[in-house]
Amino acid sequence: MDVSDGHLAGCYAPQKLKQMLYGSNVVEQKLVSCLSGPSSRAFIVTGNSLATKTPLIRKVEDILTPPRHAGTFSGIQQHSPHGPLQEALARVQKDPTIDTLISVGGGSPIDAAKSIIYHIGTDSGRWLSHIAVPTTLSAAECTDIGGTTMSDGLKKGIRHPDVYPAYILYDATFALHTPPHLLLTTAIRALDHAVEVQYHPSATWIPCQVMALNAVANFFLLLPKYKENPKDEDTITRLFLCAYASLGSLGQNFKGSVGLSHTIGYSLGSPYGIPHGVTSCMTLARVVKLKSSMNSEGARRIAGILPFIGGFPSGDHRKDGEEVGTRIGLLISDLGLATTLTEWKVNKDQIDVICERATGAWMPGEEKLARRNEFVLAVRALIEDLY
């Protein structure tokens, strides 16, 4: 959304998604129809836990049948480290008959599939189709961005519209195998998306911000229900749709990071081995309060969330925005998801490092005090509060 000369204006550039399919057993019913043709050959990208501790990967292999199943790589790890990704890439590069990647799992397998497609496409011009079968609510399937963790612990990103999944299959029976704590923390990650797109300059009012607002409202309704009964497939399906609504309409015109909560989360995630769902549990409520207190436009947009989560606007945007942060914090606490950097064994001597990564502006040392502006100091105080 862009406001110019007092008039609302904007541009929405849709991603290249062909279909988003949802419901129990949708993988069994629809996966084959998502392939490009009867001779299509698909390679599965997933993680070890799904391959060895659940029947899901064998099920996908059986659905494909041997002629269509070109292989499976199950070595993708959390935050998609560079080494395993290179192994998977090499296997796909060796087989020119592969025309489709099927990513099964959370954000790491989905990101890995995007990176494989990107490297093969940019190197040879052979762009593979991508079918995503998420088992968490991270919404990684909803962007054309992929991240790989390098040897220094930092992520290197790729972006291209052709890595976006052609098909997304949200199957509640697959999420039944996801540990409830993991599904809940990734739901907070999706809530993080939905909140931060409210003040993202590239997010259009329609469809992005409106869909995301409805996602926020439904997360507040559905997450307590899921915690009470994690086997309810209708609730899981609705949570998948909320995850899609949180980020799926951001579009190709999206630029930069989603927002400060995400930026701090990236600074905490791969360098310290903390899942991004967990980082959002730590950062989101605090960032909402910070932005509400420091930025009048940010406060106005955040305050717009309050009626969607059961609050009554007072007309004071700062006060209402901070109330949104309070309610998000209470939701996270009530779900049993509150945690600290101390619990994740991140030493306090890392505060300056985290702050510099998150802001690009932190300069340790007394002689650099003049360069520490109010915003950077506020971010540092927020990071200190994570302990």
Residues 360 and 221 in one domain: yes
C-alpha 276/C-alpha 296 separation (Å) is: 28
Based on the domain organization, do 232 and 377 belong to the same domain? yes
Residue 9 inside a domain? The answer is: no
**Residue appearing with tokens 């730590």:** 282
Q: How far apart are CA 328 and CA 338, in angstroms?
A: 11
CA distance 43 to 100: 6
353 and 368 fall within a common domain? yes
Specify whether 210 is located in the same domain as 91.
Answer: no
pTM confidence score: 0.93
Same domain membership, residue 201 and residue 78: no
SS (H, E, C) the chain: CEEECCEEECCCCCCCCCEEEECCCHHHHHCHHHCCCCCCCEEEEEEHHHHHHCCHHHHHHHHHHHHHEEEEEEEECCCCEHHHHHHHHHHHHCCCCCCEEEEEECHHHHHHHHHHHHHHHHHHCCCCEEEEEECCCCCHHHCCEEEEECCCCCEEEEECHHHCCCEEEECHHHHCCCCHHHHHHHHHHHHHHHHHHHHCCCCCHHHHHHHHHHHHHHHHHHHHHHHHCCCCHHHHHHHHHHHHHHHCCCCCCCCCCCCHHHHHHHHHHHHHCCCHHHHHHHHHHHHHHHHHHHCHHHHHHHHCCHHHHCCCCCCCHHHHHHHHHHHHHHHHHHCCCCCCCCCCCCCHHHHHHHHHHHHCCCCCCHHHHHHCCHHHHHHHHHHHCCC
**Please, what is the end-to-end C-alpha distance for the chain in angstroms?**
36
Pairing of strands 100-105, 129-134: parallel
Q: What is the pLDDT of residues 69-90, one digit of tens each?
A: 999 999 997 755 678 889 999 9
Tens of pLDDT, residues 88-139: 999 999 999 999 999 999 999 999 999 999 999 999 999 999 999 999 999 9
Quick one: 106 exposed, middle or buried, by C-beta within 10 A (0-12, 13-18, 19+)? buried
**Boundary (domain end) residue, out of 138, 162, 178:** 178
Least confident of 10-14, 26-30, 278-282: 10-14
In this structure, the answer to whether residues 172 and 193 fall within a common structural domain is no
Residues 226-272 have pLDDT tens digits of 999 999 999 999 999 999 999 999 888 888 789 999 999 999 998 99
Boundary-marking domain end, from 178, 197, 224: 178
On whether residue 14 sits in a domain, the answer given is no
Q: Are residues 164 and 230 in the same domain?
A: no
Give a yes or no: residue 282 inside a domain. Answer: yes
On whether both 295 and 351 belong to a single domain, the answer is yes
Query: 81 in a domain, yes or no?
Result: yes
User: Is it the case that residue 57 has pLDDT exceeding 50?
Assistant: yes
pLDDT above 80 for 208: yes
Task: Pick the last residue of a domain from 143, 178, 213.
Answer: 178
Same domain, 166 and 290: no
Here the CATH number for the domain that contains residue 367 is 1.20.1090.10
Residue 196 and residue 324 in one domain: yes
Q: Which of 53-57, 148-152, 208-212 has the lowest mean pLDDT?
A: 148-152
Same domain as 230, residue 148: no
User: Residue 289 sits in which domain range?
Assistant: 182-384
Specify the CATH number for the domain of residue 107.
3.40.50.1970
Percentage above 90 pLDDT, the chain: 80
Residue 67 lies in a domain: yes
Output the pLDDT for position 260: 95
Task: Report yes or no on 128 lying in a domain.
Answer: yes
When divided into structural domains, the chain yields a total of: 2
Residues 33 and 133 in one domain: yes
158-182: pLDDT as tens digits:
899 999 999 999 999 999 999 999 9
